[in-house]
Structure formats: C-alpha cells, structure tokens
A and B are shown apart, each in its own frame.
Chain A
Amino acid sequence: MKHEIIIAGFGGQGVLSMGKILAYSGLMENKEVTWMPAYGPEQRGGTANVTVIVSDERISSPILSKYDCAIILNQPSLAKFESKVKPGGILIYDGYGIINPPTRKDIKVYRIDAMDEANERNMAKTFNMIVLGGLLKLMPIVSIESVVKALRKTLPERHHHLIPMNEEAIRIGMGIIKEA
C-alpha cells in the first residue's frame, strides 16, 4: 500500500510539522517514508507545502506529479494543487481558509472546519492535529497509537504534557470532517 499526500497552506499553520508527524508515525509502523518540503525563503504568512509518502515498499521519487490526497489550507494552495489530485482521489480543505471551494467532480472532496473548531475550543495550536485527525479518518494510513508514539519521540520532554491535548485534537478532527 502506498499513500502519496501533499499538505499545503500558509507558513505558520503547522503544515511542515503535520507532515513530519505523519512521516514519523509511518516510521513507528516500520513503513517506508519520505518528507519533502518545498523549502524556500518562506516566512509566517507565506505559502508552505510538503509532500509526504508513506509506503510498504521502497519509495522512488520524493517529488510527485499527482497525489492520492491533497490537504489544502488556503486559497492559493487550492489553485495550485486541485488539478494534481489523482482521479478518484481525495481533497480535504479547511472551510476557514477557502472562499471558493473546489469544483472538480471526479475526486472526493471533504471539508474540515478545523480553524473554527480550534479557535472555539481555545486549542489554536492544535489546528494541524485536528486536520491530521480528519485525514486519518478518511485514510487510516497510521494508527492514533503510532501518532502518539511519534509525538513522544519527536517532542522534547518538557512538551510531553501537551500530548493528550494533541491526541484529543486528532479525535476531534475525526469527528468533524464531512463530505463537502
């Protein structure tokens, strides 16, 4: 099984770290993974994207033409990546960042109001984990247990008390994602 995913949004939304947590979670399950950021002179507010591949087999290119799933967190990223979802693939977008929703009919489109939910619950910093929860609901690429293991491994010990809140955020995301 191979999952080819692009996550794209504004710098500061946690795009790269969400991809990193997904890649680490794959590692926890002994899968092959690549994490390729579109690095550049990026800054908070600029655009950021990362390609994550989680696979049972050796991965050839870390750079892709088409994706199984695109997670789109702002309008410029939708313009850039909507056409690059494979037919029959999945596009997830956050309702807060997208004014003009996707129009393609040959892909499955889901909406997750992660930004609104995070703000309402006063959990703004877990925005990206809510989105990750939505992804994992649709595509069980890795288990929640593996995500928690990955967080434990990647976060410095002084931040470990935040892990339960992140786990909660994933479960919230799983609950609020819906067909657009």
Chain B
Amino acid sequence: MAEEVVLMKGNEAIAHAAIRIGVDGYFGYPITPQSEVLETLAEQKPWETTGMVVLQAESEVAAINMVYGGAGTGKMVMTSSSSPGVSLKQEGISYIAGAELPCLIVNVMRGGPGLGTIQPSQADYFQTTKGGGHGDYRVIALAPASVQEMADFVKLGFDLAFKYRNPAMILADGVIGQMMEKVVLPEPKPRRTDEEIIEQCPWASTGCKGRKPNVITSLELDPAVMEQRNIHLQNKYAEIEANERRYEEIECEDAEYMIVAFGSCARIAQKAMEHAREEGIKVGLFRPITLWPFPAPEIAKRAKQVKGILVVELNSGQMIEDVKLAVECNIPVHHFGRLGGIVPDPDEVVDALKEKLIK
C-alpha cells in the first residue's frame, strides 16, 4: 500500500505521531502556539484505541511531574508547552535528568521574556541547551524545520531518550507548530506490553516481586557519592556528544559564505540563499538538527572553506555563541535576528548577508 500523505499543522503532526508510535501517556496544559497538540489528542481519543492516557493537568508543573512519575515506571510519556510553560517545567526536567529517566518534552517557542507574546521565537535556545533547570545536566534537543520533522522527531526523541535514559526535547517554534505541510505519519504500532517494559527497562519501578527494589530519585546526601553520580552523567553526555550530532548541509560544497540557522529560520534562510545565489553570491546553509549535542566539529570543518558566517535566529544572538566556539575565531561570525515574535522575510536575510558579511 502506498503511504498516505496528509496535510496538517506541525502541532497536529506531533499528536498523531505520538499515538501511532505507541506513546503511553501525554500530560499537558494549553498554551498558544502549541494548544493543537492537546486538542488533537482530545479529538483523536487514543485512550479508546491504543490505551494511551491523555490528561490535561492543573498546571505545567503538575504535568511535568506526572511525566516524572510515568517515566519512572518505564512508560513512554511526554508533555508539550510553549516558552512560559516550559520555564515552569524546568525544575521537573532537572529532576528527571538527575534521576536518569527517559521522556519527551515539546517546546513550541513564542516570544519572551515573561508572558511575552504568542508569536514565533527561538529565544529559548540558551534555556534548552545550557541548562534551564539547576545542576550539571543536559537535554537532547532536536530542532525540526518542517511538519514532517515534527512527526519524525517524536519517535527519534523517544529512541534517544530511552537509549541514554535522558530527557529529550523537540525545540520548535510558532511557525513550525502553526504551519500546514504535507506529512507522512509513522506506521501505527501497539504500545509496549508490561512484560516488554520490564524486559527493556530493568531500572524502572515496575513492581519488585522477586528482585531488589529500584529506587527512582535524584537525591543523594553523600557528596562523594553525588560526585560519582555527576561523573557518570558527564561520561554519558560525552558519549551522546560523540554519537548523536545531527545536521543538514545545503549547497555548502562551493560556498564562499555560510548561513547557520535552525528550525523555521533555516527555511527562511534557505530562500534567502536561493535569492543570493541568483545574484551570484555563493552561499551555503548549515542547519543544526541537534542543538545539543551541537554539530561543532562539522561547522568547524566547513568554516575552513568559507570567508564568513551569518547566524540567523529569532533571538538577539544565542546559537551564535556555539558557532563562535566551534570556529574558534578563525573567521568572522555575525548575527542577524528579529526579536519578540517578529519573523524576518527572506529579503531581510539577504540584506543582512550583504551588510554584515560581504560588505
């Protein structure tokens, strides 16, 4: 049978993909521009088909702690929100990272700070990749640039989360959440049985009859033990950094200049690249797909052939810090961004390219 192509919003694709790959539980709280995730799940009623739990919690804080509890039992559990809501979840995310549990968090970013605006933004890059909550922890961050990737990254996020027992986050924005595009959804498969979970997750709290109890906690009062636990986490993060960097390069082979952009900005920058190439300017686009681990070695390699880099973001300059670290000041790295919910059009990016980089 030919695969079915459907047209839907990025937020709807997240919900449909979650049902189809056999997610056990979704806990959320509505907020623009991601409310369609919860709305679509409520419409689809997966509790009647796959048995997936869908629950609108009393707050974002409650939702992330329901995720913490569900994840502790080895279930595939997730939550979604937008920037102010994701700030509320940070304590829970730190606990989940500390307890080494797998889960998926979706952030469809909007403009901040504070309650900000409901329009698209990428100003949570620092929050996502540099911490967010307290302590030395990392979250695997995937940045979709299409509705198809919104659907695909639900499975990828859970695969990575379970592989490393670590929270994974889909870091999207209002553009990717609200736009409609063609998408092929994953093949439906049933949720894992209790027996499969016990076999696959020997660390989980699944009932300890006949074995030693598993204790799920991030608390350790003995600093010597806590240091060892931190070292173990850092070793795990080093392994993720070595193995899981993902990126896309578009027309970089002959590039003299390079744009680095993620998510919706990468789409806008690609059009800018097309315009610039029509004028004879050889520009390439480097799109980090994982924001952590950051594809720094790949950017450094490509930087050897270009005269300069323009980083395009919906913020005042966040990912640019990682790009600068990657190229170690060997070539000029400039920034172009719009703030507070304003999205640039491709011509603005071309103008910035000429003004800041080519001169």
Contacts and interface: CB of A to CB of B under 8 A. Distances in A.
Interface string A24-60: 1001001011111101110000000000000000011
Interface stretch (B51-59, B178-186, B325-333): B178-186
A33 B178 CA distance: 14
Contacts of B343: 63
Contacts of B178: 36-37, 39
A20 interface: yes
Contacts of A39: 32-33, 118-119, 174, 178
Contacts of A41: 118
Nearest to A19: B180
A40 B120 CA distance: 10
A62 B267 contact: yes
Interface residues of A, number: 22
Contacts of B270: 60-61
A23 interface: yes
B346 A65 contact: yes
B67 interface: no
19 contacts: A20-B180, A23-B180, A32-B182, A33-B180, A36-B179, A37-B179, A39-B118, A39-B119, A39-B174, A60-B270, A60-B271, A61-B270, A61-B271, A62-B264, A63-B344, A64-B271, A64-B346, A65-B348, A66-B347
B91 interface: no
B31 to A, nearest CB: 13
A40 B179 contact: no
B118 A40 contact: yes
A66 B348 CA distance: 12
Nearest to A30: B5
A60 B267 contact: yes
A27 B5 CA distance: 8
B175 A23 contact: no
